[in-house]
């Protein structure tokens, strides 16, 4: 086949992480959950190559793989009974890394295989992803990666519109990102990729289109990473095993969590209540939701410690995501001085945890097209490397500010697109 190289300029895609505010685990069983996007995001820089190969560089997780596009499988999406079976189709020339890189490589092979038709395979590119989201902490780093990857592959194959990200673009990106999540997680509910795609606050019920709550209430939260590793797959399986043993008991708990989420959705959309009353009610249901999750066996001593430390200051906390470690979220009342939040954060950090002060509800996937043709992956990496090499000055309340500063090689217009409000 004669190689046809379409001309295209480097572009950058960004997608946010998520925090599940209410309804994790219950969402797997068709109950409602509420989630919001974080202002911590994954960023993909995509630059053209002169050959038809695809290079994926993921410095945060130690991956740098060069794929020969013609050896990657051509998939229509129906060859495998589940996307997670893609491992059997990885070309023997590729050595699959251990750890988080493994999932990333498998996901790439699956999504590239499905999205890149044979005629697209002359388009060579280098994809470099950097992320501000800690891996495996319950903040949806995997979904942000999958949304950024899906948007990249769809953009490269001319399946997205030329400007902005339209409603139909988002639908398509979200569908593929969900398949990426299936490679990573087996049976995900789809909530993480929906938030990373659409941003804002979403009410999500599995199998139904997510509903944007159009909330006017900004939500200040303190996120505490307990740094205790957890496996989402194992925790979801644990709840399933408990439900198999005590179906009516566990179904009752899942129904209560559903009521918590429904109540929260009403509070988010409420325009009649005073802000303080809403905050009080929100705190109540945060406490209730954590208690219900704890009875499902997905809390952890570290998460209980976060709850105790914050409760001593009259703040409500709950685990967020799969639990078993990972992250907790604490609602910060709007009137609380940031100095007082710093005091709580320092106390939690004294316990060996890591805190992020953040606001929930920013924009979803964003694409900055035609960024300066001189941007190279090497330059971009050198630029952002400093942040990743200096944990001491990273990961406090202003992580995003530093990330953008790290993208000094990008034009201001691109940066504006990448930080959608």
Ligand X SMILES: Nc1ncnc2c1ncn2[C@@H]1O[C@H](COP(=O)(O)OP(=O)(O)OP(=O)(O)O)[C@@H](O)[C@H]1O
Q: Which residues have a catalytic role annotated?
A: 142, 192
Beta strands in 91-190 (DSSP E): 125-131
Under the binding rule (CB under 6 A), the answer on residue 191 touching ligand MEV is: yes
Taking the least distance from each CB to ligand MEV, the nearer of 155 and 299 is 299
The interface partner of residue 24, options being ligand MEV, ligand X, none and the CB cut-off 5 to 8 Å by kind, is: ligand MEV
Q: How far is the CB of 187 from ligand MEV (least distance, A)?
A: 7
Whether the CB-CB separation of 276 and 13 falls below 8 Å is answered with: no
Under the binding rule (CB under 6 A), the answer on residue 189 touching ligand MEV is: yes
Taking the least distance from each CB to ligand X, the nearer of 100 and 200 is 100
Q: In 3D, which of 103, 134, 79, 159 has the Cα closest to residue 367?
A: 159
Among 10, 36, 100, 188, which residue interacts with ligand MEV (rule: CB under 6 A)? 188
- How many residues bind ligand MEV (CB under 6 A)? The answer is 14
H-only helix segments in 17-125: 100-115
Of 333-372, which residues contact ligand MEV (CB under 6 A)?
Answer: none
Q: How far is the CB of 239 from ligand MEV (least distance, A)?
A: 8
Q: Is the dihedral of CA 65, 69, 73, 77 positive or negative?
A: positive
- Which 3 state secondary structure label does DSSP give 414? helix
Q: What is the DSSP letter of 316?
A: -
CA distances from 306 to 227, 289, 317, 325 (A): 12, 15, 7, 11
Q: What is the DSSP letter of 88?
A: G
Residue written as tokens 């406490």?
Answer: 287
Under the binding rule (CB under 6 A), the answer on residue 24 touching ligand MEV is: yes
Q: How far is the CB of 322 from ligand MEV (least distance, A)?
A: 4
Taking the least distance from each CB to ligand MEV, the nearer of 25 and 387 is 25
The interface partner of residue 108, options being ligand X, ligand MEV, none and the CB cut-off 5 to 8 Å by kind, is: none
Q: How far is the CB of 232 from ligand MEV (least distance, A)?
A: 5
The interface partner of residue 58, options being ligand X, ligand MEV, none and the CB cut-off 5 to 8 Å by kind, is: ligand X
Whether the CB-CB separation of 376 and 47 falls below 8 Å is answered with: yes
Among 173, 236, 315, 418, which residue interacts with ligand MEV (rule: CB under 6 A)? 236
Under the binding rule (CB under 6 A), the answer on residue 243 touching ligand MEV is: no
Q: How far is the CB of 181 from ligand MEV (least distance, A)?
A: 8
Under the binding rule (CB under 6 A), the answer on residue 322 touching ligand MEV is: yes
Residues that bind ligand X (CB under 6 A): 58, 60-61, 100, 103-104, 107, 129, 131, 135-142, 145, 184, 192, 232, 321-322
The interface partner of residue 27, options being ligand X, ligand MEV, none and the CB cut-off 5 to 8 Å by kind, is: ligand MEV
DSSP assignments along 188-245, one per residue: --SHHHHHHHHBSEEEE-TTS--EE------EEEEEEE------HHHHHHHHHHHHHH
Taking the least distance from each CB to ligand MEV, the nearer of 18 and 130 is 18
- Which 3 state secondary structure label does DSSP give 267? helix
Number of H helices, E strands in the chain: 12, 12
Q: How far is the CB of 18 from ligand X (least distance, A)?
A: 7
- Give the nearest residue (CB) to ligand X: 142
The interface partner of residue 104, options being ligand X, ligand MEV, none and the CB cut-off 5 to 8 Å by kind, is: ligand X
Q: In 3D, which of 18, 366, 42 has the Cα closest to residue 200?
A: 18
Q: Residue 78: how many CA atoms within 13 Å on its side-chain side?
A: 1
Beta pairing partners, 57 = 64, 128
Taking the least distance from each CB to ligand MEV, the nearer of 236 and 360 is 236
Angstrom distance (rounded) from CA 193 to CA 18: 9
The interface partner of residue 56, options being ligand X, ligand MEV, none and the CB cut-off 5 to 8 Å by kind, is: none
The interface partner of residue 191, options being ligand X, ligand MEV, none and the CB cut-off 5 to 8 Å by kind, is: ligand MEV
Whether the CB-CB separation of 145 and 104 falls below 8 Å is answered with: yes
Residue written as tokens 């409760």?
Answer: 311
Contacts to ligand MEV by CB under 6 A:
20, 24-25, 27-28, 138, 188-189, 191-192, 232, 236, 321-322
């Amino acid at each position: 086949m004669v190689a046809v190289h379409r001309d295209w300029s480097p572009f950058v895609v960004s997608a946010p992480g998520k925090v599940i505010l209410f309804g994790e685990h219950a969402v797997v069983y068709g109950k409602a959950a509420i989630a919001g996007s974080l202002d911590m995001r994954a960023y993909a820089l995509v630059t053209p190559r002169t050959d038809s190969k695809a290079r994926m560089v993921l410095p945060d997780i130690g991956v740098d793989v060069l794929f020969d596009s013609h050896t990657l499988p051509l998939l229509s999406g129906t060859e495998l009974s589940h996307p997670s079976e893609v491992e059997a189709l990885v070309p023997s020339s590729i050595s699959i890394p251990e750890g988080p890189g493994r999932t990333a490589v498998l996901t790439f092979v699956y999504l590239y295989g499905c999205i890149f038709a044979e005629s697209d395979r002359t388009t060579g590119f280098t994809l470099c992803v950097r992320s501000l989201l800690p891996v495996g902490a319950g903040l949806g780093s995997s979904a942000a990666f999958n949304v950024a990857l899906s948007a990249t592959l769809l953009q490269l194959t001319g399946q997205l519109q030329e400007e902005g990200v339209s409603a139909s673009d988002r639908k398509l990106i979200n569908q593929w990102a969900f398949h990426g999540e299936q490679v990573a997680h087996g049976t995900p509910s789809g909530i993480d990729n929906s938030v990373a795609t659409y941003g804002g606050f979403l009410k999500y019920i599995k199998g139904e289109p997510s509903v944007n709550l159009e909330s006017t209430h900004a939500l200040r939260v303190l996120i505490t990473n307990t740094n205790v590793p957890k496996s989402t797959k194992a925790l979801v399986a644990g709840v399933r095993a408990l439900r198999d043993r005590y179906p009516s008991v566990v179904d009752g708990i899942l129904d209560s969590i559903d009521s918590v989420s429904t109540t929260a959705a009403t509070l988010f959309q409420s325009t009649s209540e005073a802000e303080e009353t809403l905050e009080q009610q929100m705190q109540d249901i945060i406490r209730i939701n954590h208690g219900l999750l704890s009875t499902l066996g997905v809390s952890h001593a570290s998460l209980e410690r976060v709850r105790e430390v914050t409760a001593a200051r009259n703040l409500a906390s709950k685990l967020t995501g799969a639990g078993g470690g990972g992250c907790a979220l604490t609602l910060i009342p709007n009137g609380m001085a940031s100095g007082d939040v710093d005091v709580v954060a320092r106390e939690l950090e004294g316990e060996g945890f890591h805190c992020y002060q953040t606001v929930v509800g920013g924009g979803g996937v964003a694409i900055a097209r035609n960024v300066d043709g001189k941007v190279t992956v090497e330059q971009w990496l050198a630029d952002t490397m400093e942040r990743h090499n200096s944990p001491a000055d990273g990961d406090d309340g202003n992580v995003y500010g530093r990330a953008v500063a790290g993208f000094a090689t990008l034009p201001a217009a691109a940066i504006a697109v990448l930080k959608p409000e």
